[in-house]
Amino acid sequence: MPQNEYEAKFLHIDVDAVREHLRTAGAKLAFDKTMFTRLIFENDAVQGEQWLRLRDEGGKTTLTLKQVSDATTINGTTEIEIEVDNLDKTAELLKATGLRQVRYQQNYREEWQFGDITYDLDTWPDLPTFIEIEGPSEDAVRKAVANLGFDYAQARYGSIDLIYKSEVGRDILAEPTLLFGTAELSTS
């Protein structure tokens, strides 16, 4: 059964100040900056605001059905996620069932935990690092946002393609690959 994903993104942050705030508050670094790769699959039944994401999280691989019903609210995204043990074999299985791999994407993620709240510092190609705050409820996320000193009215929701559209005028849904350039890989 799909579960609501309660997460809010904040752009234009001071990454070092956020890290220091999290550290001082007692948050624990779950993992250092790690390259994530994701394969996005679609077919005639899974498309548009719904997609399958197969993601290598640097040692853990997940398969997730994501659906965005309202990208303007914190409770507008649902997901069903399972852990799988082999990215390549899972991709092969999905293709054998008629799904098409439509995108290959990379990003870096550094994750912090404090209680039941996850703080992800995400870096995507051609975007400044931003934070994604996820919790078990809207109220929990609101409290976490306030504790970091962010204005909840500035929160962004939905998928990464909306940030690319608003921030750099780029439609990444039309791009089969979204990768870091050589210079970005060497400085990350």
Which domains are assigned to the chain? 3-178 (2.40.320.10)
pTM score, whole prediction:
0.92
Do the beta carbons of residue 27 and residue 143 sit within 8 Å?
A: no
CA atoms within 13 A on the CB side of 79: 16
Confidence band for 184, pLDDT divided at 50, 70 and 90: low
The whole-number average pLDDT for the span 174-187 is 79
Helix (H, G, I), strand (E, B) or coil at 171: coil
Rounded-to-integer distance, Cα 160 and Cα 130, Å: 11
Rounded-to-integer distance, Cα 18 and Cα 171, Å: 29
- Per residue in 37-93, pLDDT (tens digit) is 999 999 887 656 889 999 999 989 999 999 988 999 999 999 999 999 999 999 999
Residue with the bigger pLDDT between 50 and 10: it is 10
Percent of the chain with pLDDT over 90: 87
Which residues lie closer than 8 Å to 47 by C-beta, 6 or more apart?
A: none
What are the DSSP calls for 95-137, one per residue? HHTT-EEEEEEEEEEEEEEETTEEEEEEE-TTS--EEEEEESS
